[in-house]
Amino acid sequence: MKKQNLVKQEIRNIEQRCKRTAHLLFFNFYFLVLILFTACQQKNKKEVIGTETEKTYTCSMHPQIIENHPGTCPICKMDLVLRHQDEVKMEVDASLINLIQPTNETIISNIKTFKVTEQNFGDSLMLNGKVTYNTNNLKTMSSRVGGRVEKLYVKYNFQKVSKGQKIMEIYSPELAAAQQELLYLLAKGDVELLANAKTKLRLLGVEETQINQIIKSKKVNYHIPVYSNSSGYIMDTALSTENDNNSKSMQTENTAITLKEGAYINTGDVIFKVFNDTQLWGEFYVNPNEAVSIKKNQLINITSSDKKITAKIDLIQPYYNEGQNYSVLRVYLNNANQAFKIGEILTGKISFASQKGLWIPNSAVYRLGNRNIVFIKQKNVLKAKEVEFSANSDSNYLISKGLKLNDEIAENASYLIDTESFIKIN
């Protein structure tokens, strides 16, 4: 019995030793895991601290400024930005290819577009113009003798005069001598020489009625009247020369005549010019791109304040003035009944026959110098393309080159352009 108790006691001792050993092993394992976890935490903290200390900051405008902490640039006072330590790489896939195109070649926009279609279109062109002088009806008044202007009866340029109206009176020693010769021969009774003396006075510009008056009064007339040789509007030589130098438009201001009483004139001097107003010009102004579709002898319907007529275009003349290109359309206006007045405003309407083709609105075309640009849509990107047109109207262009049926183009080309843009056309 005693022996059995000793065995049991020994077994209990062994079990207690095993439990103590297990507790000791568990404690050691727990302690070892705790040490390893703490060590890893310290290592990560050191790496983070090391990474932070390696960060540098720079100025985007002045890259020579480098700091190891955030702040402002000492030069421009802009905030410093984090500087990349390694080269940053960016991969571009096909979805971004349109974004990296040159900005002067392509435009990304959701502007309204339309497809080019073939259609019949006939339109009319409205033009503004005015009544002006027909320079082909210009008559000159020249001095047949030299002398001094004693009296002047016209005061302003473009003053209305009639044929036979007294313009001025002159004193001429040559005319006085010719009159004295006529009276001397009249007293002598030499008929043949008297006829020659009358002819001489006629060649010097003296009217037949004036010669008869001299013979009747038997006195020398020292103030010989000068009469207009045509009806119309009178102007002096100074303004006439200015109009010749600036022939694109006739000046019609009622300025004072430069010739004054007391002035001397020489034989052969052009004193005045007279425009006959029985036939006038109607001049209309048109853009060069619109003039290409207008032909000579084409009919134009003209409307003024109270008149409506139809005339043929006689001349299409291009002009360049003060950096502007334009063309002048000229028509002849019959003014025998004095219906038109110089400077009167006219409105012209030219009708065009219907044409079939690729018509697009004017707003879809951007004029770049002497080239015409549209923006064609290609895979959600608008690209500039040059086009040519064969006809146009107030609102549409007939495209002859550069576009084809069902091409999709921007409805408003000017909307896609800013004032500093330079379009590159492929």
For residue 234, what pLDDT band results from cuts at 50, 70 and 90? confident
pLDDT of residue 423: 52
User: Read out DSSP for 375-421?
Assistant: EEEETTEEEEEEEEEEEE-SSEEEEEES--TT-EEES-SGGG--TT-
Quick check: 84 pLDDT over 90? no
* 284 backbone dihedrals φ, ψ, rounded to 5°: -120, 145
Which residue do the tokens 């002096």 mark? 236
Q: Is the pLDDT of residue 424 over 90?
A: no
The answer on pLDDT for 207 being more than 90 is no
* Low-confidence winner among 83-92, 123-132, 217-226, 281-290 (lowest mean pLDDT): 83-92
pLDDT of residue 284: 92
What tokens were used for 295?
A: 């032909």
Predicted pLDDT at 150: 92
pLDDT band at 109 (very low <50, low <70, confident <90, very high): low
Q: What would the mean pLDDT of 161-182 be, rounded to a whole number?
A: 90
68-72, 148-152, 314-318, 415-419: segment of lowest average pLDDT? 415-419
Geometric angle at alpha carbon 43, from 39 and 45, rounded to 5°: 115
What is the structure's pLDDT at 171? Answer: 92
- In the predicted model, what is the mean pLDDT of residues 388-399? 78
Query: At residue 331, does pLDDT exceed 90?
Result: yes
> Which stretch, 8-12, 74-78, 350-354, has highest mean pLDDT?
74-78
Average pLDDT over residues 80-84: 82
Cβ neighbours for 272, distance < 8 A, ≥ 6 positions apart: 140, 141, 154, 167, 234, 235, 236, 237, 259
State the pLDDT confidence band at 330, using cuts at 50, 70 and 90.
very high
Q: What's residue 384's pLDDT?
A: 84
Reported as a single tens digit per residue, the pLDDT across 118-166 is 887 777 788 889 998 888 888 888 888 899 999 999 988 888 888 889 9
Tell whether the model's pLDDT for residue 97 goes beyond 90. Answer: no
pTM metric for this prediction: 0.49
User: What are 8-66's pLDDT values in tens digits?
Assistant: 666 666 666 666 666 656 666 666 666 666 655 655 554 444 444 568 889 888 888 88
pLDDT band at 100 (very low <50, low <70, confident <90, very high): very low
More confident site: 202 or 97: 202
State yes or no: pLDDT of 94 exceeds 50: no
pLDDT of residue 50: 47
Average pLDDT of the segment spanning 375-398: 80
Q: What pLDDT is attached to residue 381?
A: 78
The predicted model gives 196-202 an average pLDDT of 90
Residue 397 has pLDDT above 50, yes or no: yes
Query: For residue 290, is it left (φ>0), alpha (ψ between -120 and 50) or beta?
Result: alpha
> Would you place residue 425 in the very low, low, confident or very high pLDDT band (cuts 50, 70, 90)?
low
**Residue recorded with tokens 């009358």:** 198
Query: What is the pLDDT, as a whole number, of residue 283?
Result: 92
Extract the runs of DSSP E, i.e. beta strands, from 207-314: 224-227, 232-236, 264-265, 270-275, 279-286, 299-303, 308-312
Q: Taking 60 as the threshold, does the pLDDT of residue 106 lie above it?
A: no
What's phi and psi for 215, nearest 5 deg?
-65, -40
Instruction: Give the pLDDT mean for 108-127.
Output: 79
Lowest mean pLDDT among 2-16, 66-80, 96-110: 96-110
pLDDT of res. 264: 92
What does the pLDDT read at residue 170? 92
Given a cut of 50, whether residue 247 has pLDDT beyond it is: no
